[in-house]
Amino acid sequence: MMWRLAAALAGGGLATLGFAPFGWWPLTLAAIALLLFVLRDQSIPRVGLLGFAFGLGHFVSGIYWVFYSTVYYGNAPPWMGVMLVVLLAAVLALFPAVLLALTRWLVPTASRLWPLAVALGWLASELIRGTVLEGFPWLATGYAFIDTPLRGLAAVVGVHGISAAIWLGCASLVALLRPPVWRGHALITLVILVNALAWPSPSSWTRADGPALDVALIQGNVAQADKWRPGQAPIIARRYEQRTDEVLGADLIVWPEVAVPYTYPQIRDGYLARIGERAAAAGSAVVVGTLIPNADRTQMLNSVVGIGATEGTYLKRHLVPFGEVFPLPDFMRPLLDVVDLKFANLDTGPAGQAHFPIRHTQASISICFEDVFGDEIAREGRGSGLLINVTNDAWFHRSTAAPQHLQIARMRAAETGRPLLKVAQTGLTAMIGPDGEVQRQLPWFELATLRGSVQPVAGHTPYMRWDDRPLWWGCLLGALLLLGWRRYAQRVG
Please classify residue 24 by burial: count the beta carbons closer than 10 Å to its beta carbon, then call 0-12 exposed, 13-18 middle and 19+ buried. Answer: middle
C-alpha–C-alpha distance, residues 415 and 471, integer Å: 14
C-alpha–C-alpha distance, residues 26 and 79, integer Å: 34
| Amino acid sitting at position 414 | A
Residue 398 and residue 366 in contact, taking contact as beta carbons nearer than 8 Å: no
Task: Give residues with Cβ within 8 angstroms of 318, minimum separation 6.
Answer: 134, 135, 348, 369, 370, 372, 373, 376
In the set 316, 376, 380, 415, the catalytic residue is 316
φ/ψ (deg, to 5) at 447: -80, 115
In the set 170, 368, 370, 376, the catalytic residue is 368
In the set 126, 170, 227, 257, the catalytic residue is 257
- Long-range pairs for 482-490: beta carbons < 8 A, 24 or more residues apart: 482/106, 482/107, 482/113, 482/116, 482/117, 482/120, 483/106, 485/106, 485/107, 485/113, 486/105, 486/106, 486/107
Q: How far is C-alpha 132 from the geometric centre of its chain's CA atoms?
A: 16
CB-facing half-sphere around the CA of 411: CA atoms within 13 A: 33
C-alpha–C-alpha distance, residues 22 and 47, integer Å: 29
Computed over its alpha carbons, how large is the radius of gyration of the chain? 23
**Helix axis angle, 154-177 relative to 25-39, nearest 10°?**
50
C-alpha–C-alpha distance, residues 243 and 78, integer Å: 38
Residue 412 and residue 374 in contact, taking contact as beta carbons nearer than 8 Å: yes
The secondary structure of 134-177 as a DSSP string is: T---TT-GGGGGTTSGGGGGHHHHHHHHHHHHHHHHHHHHHHHH
C-alpha–C-alpha distance, residues 303 and 431, integer Å: 21
Annotated active-site residue 475? The verdict is no
Residue 168 and residue 473 in contact, taking contact as beta carbons nearer than 8 Å: no
Tell me the C-alpha to C-alpha distance, in Å, between residue 214 and each of 27, 124, 350, 377.
40, 42, 30, 23
Annotated active-site residue 437? The verdict is no
Q: How far is C-alpha 389 from the geometric centre of its chain's CA atoms?
A: 11
Beta bridge partners, 7, equal: none
Catalytic residues, by residue number, are: 257, 316, 368
